[in-house]
Structure 1
C-alpha cells in the first residue's frame, strides 16, 4: 500500500479543496492511503464518514507565504508541512504533497527529507503545454537554485528525461538546452559547458532551444538554470493568463454580434483553453530529493489537486526515486 502525506493546510483553498480531491482520488486509487496533516476538526468534518485509508494527524501551525522558508521550518515544527515532511523522512509515508510556500517546500525537501546521494542540487520541474500536442514538456530547474553549474543541468536533464519516459510515457525523450540561440557556441560559459556535457551524454540531446520555441513542441525536456527557468515559467503563466482573460473580455463585452460569433466558435475556444490547462499535468516535482515531493499552485482547486495526487501515485508506481538512487550512486 502506497502512502501519500498531504499538507492539508497549504494554499488558498485549504483544507476544503484538498480534502475533496483526496476523497475523489481515493475512490480510484484503491491501493493508496492518505495521511492528512492540519486542523483536525476542520479536516474530519470534510472527510465525514469516508475514513477508509485516510488518517488525520493534528498539527497546530501553518507556514504562510510571507514566512522566511528555512526559519519557518525550524521554528514552526508543528506546522502541517513540516510534520508531513517528517513522516516521509521517517518512512511513515512515501511522498509529500503541498500547495504551500514554495521556498518552505524546497527547504523541507532538502533539509528534512534529504537529497539522493550523488545529486548535488535538486531541481523543480513542472510539465508545461505545447501547441501541437497534449503531452506537454518538462522544464527543469524553474527556481530551486539561484546559481547553477553545468553538471547540475546535466543531472536535471537525466532525471527529467527519465520522468518523461516513465511517468508521461514519452519514448526516447528529446532533450534541449534553453539558450539565447540555436548554435552550439551560443550563451555564456555555463551554457556552453552544459551544451557539451549534454552532447556527450547518452541522452537524446537535440541541441539548444530558444525561448520563443518552447511552446512549439520541439523538445520533451528542457534543461535550464534555476534563475532563467523561474523567469521563463512566470512569463509563460502570466502571458497565458492575460491572453485568455483578454479573449474572454472581448468576446463578452464587444456587442451582440461578437457574442453570436463567440457561440459559433465555442467548441474551438474550449479546445484553446484546454490546450493551456496545466492542471491536468499535476504539480511541479522536486527532483533529486529522497522521496517524491510535489508542489502544486497555491490557487489550485479540487481538480488540480486531484490530478497532482494521480501524478504522485504514478511516480510511486514507477519507483522513480529507487531508479535515481541506483543511477546516481553508481555513475556519479
Structure 2
C-alpha cells in the first residue's frame, strides 16, 4: 500500500509529519509519499535512518495555513500540499491521503478533486472516542455545519458501515445527539432528522444526551458538524483540565497520597492510552470517493504513524464499497 502524507499540514509541520512517516515505514513497511516543500522535507529526512526506497517526495510550493479561509485558499493556491496530495490519490498513484492541516481546506479540496460517493450529498468527519463501555464513533465533527436532515441520515448509514467493517460491530446502535432523550426535544431540524432515522432500516435507538455518549449507550452518534465540533472540543478541554487538576492535587498532597499515586501509576497510564486521540491518529472523511483521513492539528509523530495504520484498515475493509451498498439498502 502507498500513502500520501501532507508534510506541511499541522501545528508542528513539517517536522512531525515527516517523523511520523519515517516511523510508519519502519513499523509497517508501507510506501509513503511526502507532499510539501522538498528542501525542508529533505533537511529533516537527513537526520533519520530508513529504507530510502520507501519514502518519496512530491514538491508543493504553497502551504494553506491553519487560519486561512478554506475555499478561497484552495482556489487561489493551486500548488498547495493538500491539493497536490489529493490529486495523487485521484490519479490512483496512492491508496490514501492523510493531513493534519486546515480541516476546512482538506474537506473542500477532497470534495472538489475526488467528488462524492454515489448516494452521498455531503461528507462527514468521523472520530472514534472512548467511553465507559466501548469505542463510539461520532459523525459529523466539522465537515458540514449547516446540513439537511437527509445528510444526518446518510451519516448514520456511513457510520453503520464503518462500525461493521472496521470496528467489528454486528448490529451497530445509532443515536442522534440532542438535548434530551424524548423525540419531541430539539429544533425542527433535529426532529425531522429523528423521524427519518426512525423510519430507516438502521438500528436507531433515538436521541442521546452528551453525557450518555461517554456512558457507551451507542456505537454511532450522529449530529451536524457545528454541534459535533463543539462537542469534540469541549470533551478535549475537559479531559485536559481533569488531568491537570489531578496533577495539581497530587503535587499538593501529603506523602501517603503521593505513594498511593505512584502505586496507581500503571492504572493512570492505561487510562491515558484509552483516551489518547493519537492512538487512532486520524478521523476518516466519510462520503468522498477516496480514502482521506484528517488528523488533529496538534498531531505529533505518533499520531501521524497511527493515522497510517488506521488508513490501512480503511483500505483493507473496503469501507467505501460497503457505504455505497448500504446507501442502496437503507
In structure 2, relative to structure 1, the CA distance for the partners of 1:233 and 1:17 (3 Å cut) is: same
**How far did 1:39 drift?**
2.1
**How far did 1:175 drift?**
0.9
**How far did 1:16 drift?**
2.5
**How far did 1:159 drift?**
0.4
Aligned equivalents of 1:211, 1:84: Cα separation in 2: 36
Contact 2:273 2:279 in 1 (8 A): no
Instruction: Indicate whether 1:194 and 2:218 are aligned.
Output: no
Gapped regions of structure 1 (runs ≥ 5) = none
Contact 1:8 1:19 in 2 (8 A): yes
Which piece of structure 1 moves more, 75-84 or 275-284?
A: 275-284
Aligned equivalents of 2:2, 2:325: Cα separation in 1: 22
Match of residue 291 from structure 1: 290
In structure 2, relative to structure 1, the CA distance for the partners of 1:184 and 1:321 (3 Å cut) is: same
Contact 2:147 2:224 in 1 (8 A): yes
Contact 1:244 1:273 in 2 (8 A): no
Aligned equivalents of 2:271, 2:93: Cα separation in 1: 42
**How far did 1:102 drift?**
1.0
Aligned equivalents of 2:254, 2:103: Cα separation in 1: 42
Cα deviations by residue, 1:248-271 (Å, 9 ceiling, x for unpaired):
122124454442232132222223
**How far did 1:239 drift?**
0.7
Aligned equivalents of 1:325, 1:163: Cα separation in 2: 12
After superposing on structure 2, the runs of 4+ consecutive aligned residues of structure 1 that deviate more than 4 Å are: none
Instruction: Indicate whether 1:172 and 2:163 are aligned.
Output: no
Aligned equivalents of 2:127, 2:329: Cα separation in 1: 26
Aligned equivalents of 1:145, 1:202: Cα separation in 2: 24
SS of equivalent to 1:177: strand
Aligned equivalents of 2:24, 2:109: Cα separation in 1: 25
Q: TM-score, normalised by structure 2?
A: 0.93
**How far did 1:326 drift?**
4.2
Match of residue 244 from structure 2: 245
Which piece of structure 1 moves more, 47-56 or 141-150?
A: 47-56
In structure 2, relative to structure 1, the CA distance for the partners of 1:315 and 1:10 (3 Å cut) is: same
Instruction: Indicate whether 1:123 and 2:151 are aligned.
Output: no
**How far did 1:115 drift?**
1.5
In structure 2, relative to structure 1, the CA distance for the partners of 1:258 and 1:331 (3 Å cut) is: closer
Aligned residues: 327
* Correspondences of 1:9-48 after superposition (within 5 Å): 9-30=8-29, 32-48=30-46
Match of residue 279 from structure 1: 278
CA-based RMSD of the aligned residues comes to 1.9
Aligned equivalents of 2:125, 2:6: Cα separation in 1: 18
Aligned equivalents of 1:131, 1:252: Cα separation in 2: 27
Cα deviations by residue, 1:215-234 (Å, 9 ceiling, x for unpaired):
00111100112221111111
In structure 2, relative to structure 1, the CA distance for the partners of 1:117 and 1:309 (3 Å cut) is: same
In structure 2, relative to structure 1, the CA distance for the partners of 1:327 and 1:161 (3 Å cut) is: closer
Which piece of structure 1 moves more, 87-96 or 116-125?
A: 87-96
Aligned equivalents of 1:78, 1:253: Cα separation in 2: 53
Contact 2:10 2:66 in 1 (8 A): no
* Correspondences of 1:143-154 after superposition (within 5 Å): 143-154=142-153
Aligned equivalents of 1:157, 1:282: Cα separation in 2: 22
* Correspondences of 1:296-311 after superposition (within 5 Å): 296-311=295-310
* Correspondences of 1:40-189 after superposition (within 5 Å): 40-48=38-46, 50-133=51-134, 136-189=135-188
Contact 1:131 1:275 in 2 (8 A): no
Q: TM-score, normalised by structure 1?
A: 0.92
Aligned equivalents of 1:129, 1:196: Cα separation in 2: 28
Match of residue 209 from structure 1: 208
